[in-house]
Every structure is written in structure tokens, then in C-alpha cells.
Amino acid sequence: MPIPGKPLRRLGFLTIGLFDPADPAAGHRATLEIIELGERLGLDSAWLRHRHLQYGISSPVAVMAAAGQRTDRIELGTAVTPLGWENPLRLAEDLATVDLLSGGRINPGVSVGVPMQYEHLKSALYPDTAEVEDFTYTRVERLLAFLEGRPASDFAGREGFEEFSDRVQPHSPGLRDRMWYGAGSLRSARWAGAHAMNLLSSSVVFGEPGGPTDFAEIQREQIRAFRAAHPAGSAARVSQGLVVIPTDSATVEQRDRYHAYVQARTPRTAGPQGSRGMLFARDLVGSSERIAEELYAHAGFREVDEVAFALPFSFAHGDYVQILTDMATRLGPALGWRPAG
């Protein structure tokens, strides 16, 4: 076994929540069951990917609301919500409501940028304002301001029988401190740190001209830049999200299928992709002992004490049950982690 630098403090997972368009309710119920399983296994957090016009979770806030009523302890997050699709004021209302109903367990992760496939859908998304929408960090700043309780209106008081607030209601104390930013570049990591957010570092990064070309080294550089810019310094929270597939209790058929899945995705990790130099992390598959060794050799992993391992997109429900169970009972302990409760 590897010699850990320090025990892993928090262990969570990330799911896309795939569903069959012929029966979408079944897929959403299966996602809720996986979250319930995560709580029973003592995992610390469950994170939802956000997918629009695809066959995955399009409304993670609604799913978190449902999961919050089915669970008592596990934290619930989004990784990430693309703010280009959202009105920050309305999103602030929804997040605060769900956070209060869950007992303060929501960890919203966000990102900015032009929505995917924007040229094909902008007339439906923003029919009157498509050409003037601001998809920059300003959108995050607006959301943070509303969650902090800054004014959203220049009127407060009574009008007739109704009472109006000049701030987003309800207000959920502490939610602002649980806001995360999904960063893949040095610029976005520094921005998140300077704005006192938490950092979600995933299996995708963007290299810098003249900088390191190895994924793990790039991730480490970004995490350190984030903390250098953050008011909390080295204590600023960072969560790493690699695709990790332990096979300890898997059947022979499952193991073969998992390895074939990883093999098919491995070529994209050979070098930078596209004009921005996007790099993908290699998926980790095998025994928990082997995965732990690979993680302790990973420069990015050595910078964190909490993770949200990503579940593969296209596996079956039974596969996710096996993977989560092995994460909690084999891989987590191999990393020094202890289940909650």
C-alpha cells in the first residue's frame, strides 16, 4: 500500500443521471436511489452534472430538492451549473430555498461561458437578448451578491396588503461560503480564489503556453494558484474529480466492460485537444489498492484532501452500486478516509 501524506478527509461522487427518453422518470428515480446509497455507505457528498437538451439531469436543483427530502446527512452539489443558461436572481432564490429545506447541505458549483450549441438554441433561450447577454464572470458576481444578501431591488416595504423585500428571499446563511467554481485554467482558478469561492478541479484542464504539459502538473499549478489568490490561503477548499472505477467486487463481465470503456477513452489523453489545448485525465480502473497507488503518485491529488470521483456516463445502475460500494468500503479506507456516521 502507498504511504499517504495525509488521510483523505472527504469522499464523494459525481453522476450525470442518465435516463431513457422513453422513460425519464425511471432514470431520475435511479439517481435518487444512488444518492441514498451514498448516504448509507457514509460518503460525504453527491454531486450532479448539469446537462441541457441532453438525456441527463437538466434540473439539478429540483433533483437536489428531492434528494434532500430522502436523505439526512450527505451534502448535495452541482458540478457544474453553466450560468449562461440561468438568471442569477432566480437561481439564487431556488438555491436558497433548497438549501434551507435540506438543512444547509447544498454546495452549488457553477461556471461561465457561452452555452454549448448556442447558435442553434439562442432564439429559444434568449429570443430578445441573445446578442447582448453577458456570459462573463459578471454573471457569477451577480449570483454571489444575491446570496450574500445584497440589494436586488430599490424598493422595500408594504404595498397594499403585501410586504416586499429589497433582497432575495429566502436568505440561507452560510450558502455563499459553500459556492464552488469549476475551473480548468489558471485564469479561472485565480479568479475563483480572489472571489473567495471553493474550487472544483475536474478531469479536464487547459494548458498554458510555456507551462507544464502533464495533466497532473497542470492541475497542481492551478490549485496552487487558486490558493495563492484566496483569502484563506492554504486552507481554501479544493475538490478533485477524476473518473475512478474500482473493480474489487466486480464480476468478470463488469471488469471486462470497464476496462474496454477506459481503453476506448484513453487515446484522448495522449495530448492537448483543440485550439485551447484541452487535456483530459486518464481514467483510473482496477483494484482499490492499485488506484490508491496511482492517486498518491498524482501531483494534483496530492494537493487536496477531498474528492468527488466521477461515475462513468453510460454504465448500468448495478454497476454504479458496485463502484460506489467499493469506493466506500475499499478505496476510501485505502486512502485513509473514514465513512461519516
Cell numbers found for residue 103 = 438543512
pLDDT for the residue 4: 63
Under 8 Å CB-to-CB from 112, ≥6 apart: which residues?
82, 83, 84, 135, 136, 137, 139, 140
pTM: 0.97
49-85 per-position pLDDT tens digit: 999 999 999 999 999 999 999 999 999 999 999 999 9
Domains of the chain by residue range: 10-154+163-334
Candidates 293, 229, 242, 296; CA nearest to 269 is 242
Could you report the per-residue pLDDT of 287-328, keeping only the tens digit for each?
999 999 999 999 999 999 999 999 999 999 999 999 999 999
Q: What are 97-115's pLDDT values in tens digits?
A: 999 999 999 999 999 999 9
Which CATH code is given to the segment(s) 10-154+163-334? 3.20.20.30
Higher pLDDT, 199 or 272: 199
CA-CA distance, 309 to 335, in Å (whole number)? 13
Query: 135: pLDDT confidence band, cut at 50, 70 and 90?
Result: very high
What percent of the chain is predicted at pLDDT more than 90? Answer: 93
CA 90 to chain centre: 20
Residue with cell 436558497: 96
Residue 2 has pLDDT above 80, yes or no: no
The length of the chain in residues reads 341
CA angle 19, 203, 185 (to 5 degrees): 120
